[in-house]
Structures are given as structure tokens and as C-alpha cells.
Chains A and B, each alone.
Chain A
């Protein structure tokens, strides 16, 4: 027999939580225990007194599963609220990447030229390498990395997505 699969869609969830021990394990563990997907997950405290953290999870699944993810997250006691940015409307998503490219000669020049087009910053350099810092929507980071593959890409670090509603609206 075969295991059935369903078509899925990508959602960005902001989860506002009490900044307490074990909360990240609770959230990530919930995803594993119930078989949900995590594409990326970032977390940092965001309030002046360090009491509140904001977790951004990028997930994918069929719409009923996305609804369940939200409901299951809301059930956790330290979770204050869950905002599905994808449902909520226009929003910005940004990600930071550090990308190390090694090489000399034409490839090195081309890497620097493309980096300028992408408005990537050079945050470290030697005569044989660059570390670029790039922020942008995930697909922009993706295409930059794809281009760098041909030009001596040796290492990538990505922060995962953080997102926020556009306009005066707050979450």
C-alpha cells in the first residue's frame, strides 16, 4: 500500500509567547509530535522586560492542517496569540543571510558585481574570499545563493524568516 499525501500551501506564523524555559521545545516539539512541517523557525525576545518572545514559523500543509497548527499552538499555555501572516493580508517577510564566497580572478569580480546588484554588503574580505550580508525576502536570498554557487560559494548561514503586517495595522 502507499501512504497518501495532500497538496500543501506555505504559511508564515507569528507566535507571541512568554519568554520562559522550554517554550521553544514545546513549540518545535508540537510540530514533530503532530507531524507538521517546519521550513524555518526564528525566535528572540522582543519586549523591554524580556518577558515576551516572538517566534516566527514558516510551515506548509493543506489548509485544514494549517488551521490545526494554529489551534494547537494557541492551546499551549505560554502562547499569547498566533498570527497567520499569510491569512492576515499584505505583509513583509525578511531574512538575513551570510554567504561566504571563495575564489580569485574573474569569478571574484563577478561575485562582487552581483552582490552590488542585490545590495548585499561585504562584511568580511580577504584577497581570496568575501563574506556577504544580504537581507531580503526568502526568494531573493535563494536567487543570490543560486548565482553564487557558480562563483565559489563555500558557506551559507540563514536566519530564517521574520515577518510583519504592512501599514499601520499591528498584530
Chain B
């Protein structure tokens, strides 16, 4: 039976059929017809953010912590442009997201109408795909395809721009209609060929110094991929490292866990990469933060690269065997192929790794006057690990300390802005994660500078009674900027001091949150306890050492073997080639 429905009604119905629970959004002129449909709807819960960037990051947090796509609804013009940072962030970190943007009516497109922006043009290079829907009859097929594109293959954001008249216009709606999609054009490859698997198994079986270099792709492939990674590690015995985005895909308390690699990775992870004879990259993309100086990256290693995105293979580092496929699929195939093979004796390799671990690269000087930020993260970890918390972060030193000192045991517990490095990500992401995981303990480990970038979202958490916790490592500096200025610009701290800070405790109270300030180490455990004991949202303003640096660190343009550790003498400047690197 077919009937007529408005574009807005079709949109809401399609979202429901996709199983959408939450829409993160902000109303405006060009989406009023959709908001009117939402008003009457009982199934979809709309979460009113306080800024559209917050909507996009909240959708990311929801998606990353649940594995389901995040949905965003914003108006035309500034609504869309404000959301762009979050869309670009999701694109870089492969987060499944569908963003509905209102647009001026079709007749006004291109006339510089009120709140008009070329959303399709603006988002062209930060979305996996985008659509401008001019015909309401196309809406249903478009939305279905958008969800399929966002959630399959390498996940990513998809924008659907819907002019206001298309939201109002009527189109036929057939209850049974499963509109055929032009699916020929989007078929991500999931499985490896038999030849590739045989070759990979042979390379693995022959390796004497193998390393698994894992990344966010393992998380994106679902919890099963993390389980399979553990099986594969058990079978081969090879040590495992991970990128920032991959933390949690392998348990941090495992004896063969090397810790994170790269610029602020551990000494043992970077040394193992440098000395390995085989690197198996799984869902990782050889980012510049990971490789350091390219001509010195893993010089002796043969390399296998498993990635669902063909464009990642050979992009930065040429590999010996590239396998395009879904991590879970390929790991399962690989396990099958290894079944009858005897694992190599890796004891010599592991002994060398133990030697590197003995450097204790994460050791830091204790302080009695102030709280060391590393100590604060360590205590936070130890006091919350039994509750298996979800951790979000902002961007900067605190993010790296969280990655280094907080141990992640399973996937989907660590939400951070890796690729784009977006300050202001953590609070809205925590809100999205809390909605998706109502019983979980969700903590945003923040810096005092980053948290101010989306501080308005405190009100969102208040409105929906979300008990998120913000743990600010307050060193009164944009710490990572200050650290780089110290190391490369002879400590000229240009504009990196966090002047005129608000009183975070009073700010928390103004928004109906609880505020706690920790000023000395003796109060650290008590403060964390008080935060955990409060059943509502809490800001903890933890005053930490102002001059602590994040080590280990591979300076710009240096090799994995040239790490700086605490206590190393650090030069005050660098040559132009090194300065030019990001």
C-alpha cells in the first residue's frame, strides 16, 4: 500500500528503521520541518547540544563507544559550518556518522540566501560521501545508502543536505518498499585471497623478531577483531604495539604488550619496531606521528599491511605484502592458515624486549611540592580500573599522558581525537558515550585549555542528567605547545600560557555540576574518591606541575631510536628542516 508523506516524515521513518536511538542536534530555520516531526516522535531521542561542533563530537563518542553510527542534525549555513570540525574529525578517525544538514529551499540555492552555505562543497573532502537531495522521492534510497556507506568498509561520515522545500514536499511512501540501491558502485572488499593468506602465514612463521603494529581499524572491525588479535598473538607469541587509535584492542596488562608506539610511544615499542624483522600492520596507517623519520623506520623489517582501505597501502611506507580486507575477516583467515604451523621460538627476541623495558621509559621524577600529571593519571587508572571506565580526552599533553599511563583492557573504551587532533573533543564525546552506555563510568581526561573549547556542553550533560566526569590536569599552559616551544624555540612561550582561567569549581556549580579542586598530592586519592562517589556530573580541577613534559618523545624528524626520555638533556632549538615538520 502506498501513501504520501512529507520529506521530513520520510527522514524520521528511515532513521527509525536504521535503529537510530539518538540524534545529536541543534534546530534552526532550515530544519524546522524535521524538528516538527521529531516533536511528535516517541522513538528517537533528540539530544540538544549547545554548539553544533558538540553535536558532531557527541555523535562520534556515541559511535566509537557503541560501534553504532552517530547521527547529527543541524541547520543550514552556520549549523553546517560549525559541524564541519566534527565531521572532519570523524573522517580522519574513521568514525561512522550520518549528518543531516538543512539547506535553503532549492529555488534559493546559489543566491546567497539567509543562512546559505555550500555544505556539499564545504564537506566534500571531509566526508566519505555527501548528497544534496533535490527530489523527495530519492530521500529514502539516499538515507539507506548513506548509512550503508558510513558503517561499512572503512567507516566515516556521510552528509545528507536536505533543502527545506524537500522536507515539506510530499513523496510516495510504500510500507514494503525496499528501494533497490545502486549498490554496484559500493562494494568494499572484506576478505583476503588465499594466496595472500598463505604468503602472510609463511612470512609470520619465518619471522624471528615479529611485531604486531595495530591501529584503530581493529576497533572498527568490531570486538571480534580484538578477540581474534588475542588469538593470533597467542598462536604466534609476537609482541603487540598499537597506535593511539588502537588502544584497547590488546590488553594493557598482557606481558607481550609493548605499549603505544610513535612520537610519545614507549621505548620498547619503538625499539622493537626499529629492530623487528617482520611488522604486521593491522588496521593502522603509518601516520607521521607513528613512523618518525621515514628513512629510518623499521629498516630491517619485512612488512605486511592489512587494511580495509586500499589507499592506505603503500601510501607512506612501501610494504612487501598488502592485504585489502576487514581486520576481523583477515585475522580469522590468517588464524586458519597458521593452524598446522609450529610457532617460532621467540625467546631471544623477547629477552631483548625485556632489556628495553628495563629502561622504564615511563618513569618520571617524583615531586613533593606539586602533583605530577603522570601520577594523577596513574591514580585515576588504579582507582577506576575495576569499573572498566570509558575514557575520552581532549588534545595535548594530558591526552598523551592518558594514553601512556591509563591501561586499556578492551576495545571501545578509549575515545580520543587522533588524526585531526581536535581540542574540545572530549567533553561532547563523553556525553555521547554516556548516552550510549548509561551504566558506564565515563571520564573526560582534559587539559584546562582544551576543555574551554566546548565548555558550553556542560549544560547538555546537566539537561540530560548525564553523570560524566571531567578530570582536568591543570598546568595553566597549553602544555604541548609550551613543551614544543621549550624544545624547539628556546623556551619562548608565545601565547601558550592559559591566562584568565575561570574558577572551574565555581563554573561547575554554575552549570549544576559538582566541582572539586585538588591542589596537593595528599588530596589526590580523596579527590578522585569524591568524584567517583558523586552520582552526578563532576569537574575535578587537578592542579599539576606546570613544567612537566611528555616523555618519551621522538623529536621532529628523528628516528625511533632517537627518543628523548626524562632526564635527557634537551636542546633549545632545532634546524629549519626539523621545525618544518608538524
Q: Which residues of A contact B (CB under 8 A)?
A: 1, 18, 21-22, 25-26, 29-30, 33, 64, 67-68, 71-72, 74-80
- Which A residues touch B12, using CB under 8 A? none
- Whether the pair A22, B132 counts as a contact (CB closer than 8 A) is yes
- B97-129: contact bitstring with A at CB < 8 Å (1 yes, 0 no)? 000000000000000000000001100110011
- Whether the pair A22, B185 counts as a contact (CB closer than 8 A) is no
Is B351 an interface residue when CB atoms closer than 8 A count as contact? no
- Which A residues touch B121, using CB under 8 A? 25
Cβ distance A6 to chain B, nearest Cβ, rounded Å: 13
Is B311 an interface residue when CB atoms closer than 8 A count as contact? yes
Is B149 an interface residue when CB atoms closer than 8 A count as contact? yes
- Whether the pair A18, B185 counts as a contact (CB closer than 8 A) is yes
- Whether the pair B185, A78 counts as a contact (CB closer than 8 A) is yes
Cβ distance A108 to chain B, nearest Cβ, rounded Å: 46
- Whether the pair A22, B120 counts as a contact (CB closer than 8 A) is yes
Q: A1-B576, A1-B580, A64-B314 are in contact. Are A75 and B309 (CB under 8 A)?
A: yes
Is B39 an interface residue when CB atoms closer than 8 A count as contact? no
- Whether the pair B125, A33 counts as a contact (CB closer than 8 A) is yes
Is B182 an interface residue when CB atoms closer than 8 A count as contact? yes
The residue in chain B whose Cβ has the minimal distance to the Cβ of A20 is: B131
- Which B residues touch A25, using CB under 8 A? 121, 124
Is B186 an interface residue when CB atoms closer than 8 A count as contact? yes
- Which B residues touch A26, using CB under 8 A? 124
- Whether the pair A77, B185 counts as a contact (CB closer than 8 A) is yes
Q: A1-B580, A25-B121, A80-B185 are in contact. Are A68 and B315 (CB under 8 A)?
A: yes
User: Which of B132, B182, B184, B311 counts the most A-chain CB atoms under 10 A from its CB?
Assistant: B311
A-contacting residues, B182-220, CB 8 Å: 182, 184-186
- B292-322: contact bitstring with A at CB < 8 Å (1 yes, 0 no)? 0000000000000000011101110010000
- Which A residues touch B149, using CB under 8 A? 77
**Cα–Cα distance between A67 and B310 once the two chains are bound (Å):** 10
Q: Which residues of B contact A (CB under 8 A)?
A: 120-121, 124-125, 128-129, 132, 149, 182, 184-186, 309-311, 313-315, 318, 576-577, 580
- Which A residues touch B182, using CB under 8 A? 18
The residue in chain B whose Cβ has the minimal distance to the Cβ of A64 is: B314
- Which A residues touch B186, using CB under 8 A? 77
- Whether the pair A30, B132 counts as a contact (CB closer than 8 A) is no
Cβ distance B291 to chain A, nearest Cβ, rounded Å: 15
Cβ distance A101 to chain B, nearest Cβ, rounded Å: 40
- Whether the pair A75, B311 counts as a contact (CB closer than 8 A) is yes
- Which A residues touch B120, using CB under 8 A? 22
Cβ distance A65 to chain B, nearest Cβ, rounded Å: 10
- Whether the pair B576, A67 counts as a contact (CB closer than 8 A) is no
**Cβ-Cβ contact count across A and B, 8 Å cutoff:** 42
Cβ distance A152 to chain B, nearest Cβ, rounded Å: 42
**Cα–Cα distance between A76 and B120 once the two chains are bound (Å):** 14
- Whether the pair B310, A75 counts as a contact (CB closer than 8 A) is yes
**Cα–Cα distance between A78 and B185 once the two chains are bound (Å):** 6
- Which B residues touch A64, using CB under 8 A? 314, 318
Cβ distance A129 to chain B, nearest Cβ, rounded Å: 39
The contact sample of 12 A-B pairs, CB cut-off 8 A, is: A29-B124, A30-B125, A68-B311, A68-B314, A71-B313, A71-B315, A72-B311, A75-B310, A76-B129, A77-B128, A77-B129, A77-B149
Known: A22-B124, A75-B309. 7 other contacts (CB 8 A): A1-B580, A18-B185, A26-B124, A71-B313, A72-B311, A77-B128, A79-B185
- Which A residues touch B125, using CB under 8 A? 29-30, 33
Cβ distance A134 to chain B, nearest Cβ, rounded Å: 36
The residue in chain B whose Cβ has the minimal distance to the Cβ of A81 is: B185
**Cα–Cα distance between A71 and B121 once the two chains are bound (Å):** 22
**Cα–Cα distance between A53 and B124 once the two chains are bound (Å):** 20
The residue in chain A whose Cβ has the minimal distance to the Cβ of B184 is: A80
**Of the residues A21, A71, A72, A77, contact of B132 by C-beta under 8 Å:** A21
**Cα–Cα distance between A95 and B107 once the two chains are bound (Å):** 38
The residue in chain A whose Cβ has the minimal distance to the Cβ of B577 is: A1
Q: A1-B577, A18-B185 are in contact. Are A74 and B124 (CB under 8 A)?
A: no
- Which B residues touch A80, using CB under 8 A? 184-185
**Cα–Cα distance between A33 and B123 once the two chains are bound (Å):** 12
- Which B residues touch A22, using CB under 8 A? 120, 124, 132
- Which A residues touch B310, using CB under 8 A? 71, 74-75
- Which B residues touch A68, using CB under 8 A? 311, 314-315
**Cα–Cα distance between A120 and B396 once the two chains are bound (Å):** 65
- Which B residues touch A30, using CB under 8 A? 125
**Of the residues A1, A21, A71, A77, contact of B311 by C-beta under 8 Å:** A71
**Cα–Cα distance between A66 and B87 once the two chains are bound (Å):** 28
- Whether the pair B132, A67 counts as a contact (CB closer than 8 A) is no
The residue in chain B whose Cβ has the minimal distance to the Cβ of A78 is: B185
**Of the residues A21, A67, A74, contact of B314 by C-beta under 8 Å:** A67
**Cα–Cα distance between A139 and B254 once the two chains are bound (Å):** 63
**Cα–Cα distance between A131 and B514 once the two chains are bound (Å):** 81
- Which A residues touch B185, using CB under 8 A? 18, 77-80
Cβ distance B560 to chain A, nearest Cβ, rounded Å: 22
Cβ distance A73 to chain B, nearest Cβ, rounded Å: 9
- Which A residues touch B314, using CB under 8 A? 64, 67-68
Cβ distance A32 to chain B, nearest Cβ, rounded Å: 9
**Cα–Cα distance between A29 and B120 once the two chains are bound (Å):** 12
- Which B residues touch A72, using CB under 8 A? 311
**Cα–Cα distance between A95 and B42 once the two chains are bound (Å):** 61
The residue in chain B whose Cβ has the minimal distance to the Cβ of A22 is: B120
Cβ distance B384 to chain A, nearest Cβ, rounded Å: 39
**Cα–Cα distance between A33 and B91 once the two chains are bound (Å):** 15
Cβ distance A150 to chain B, nearest Cβ, rounded Å: 44
**Cα–Cα distance between A76 and B311 once the two chains are bound (Å):** 11
Cβ distance A23 to chain B, nearest Cβ, rounded Å: 11
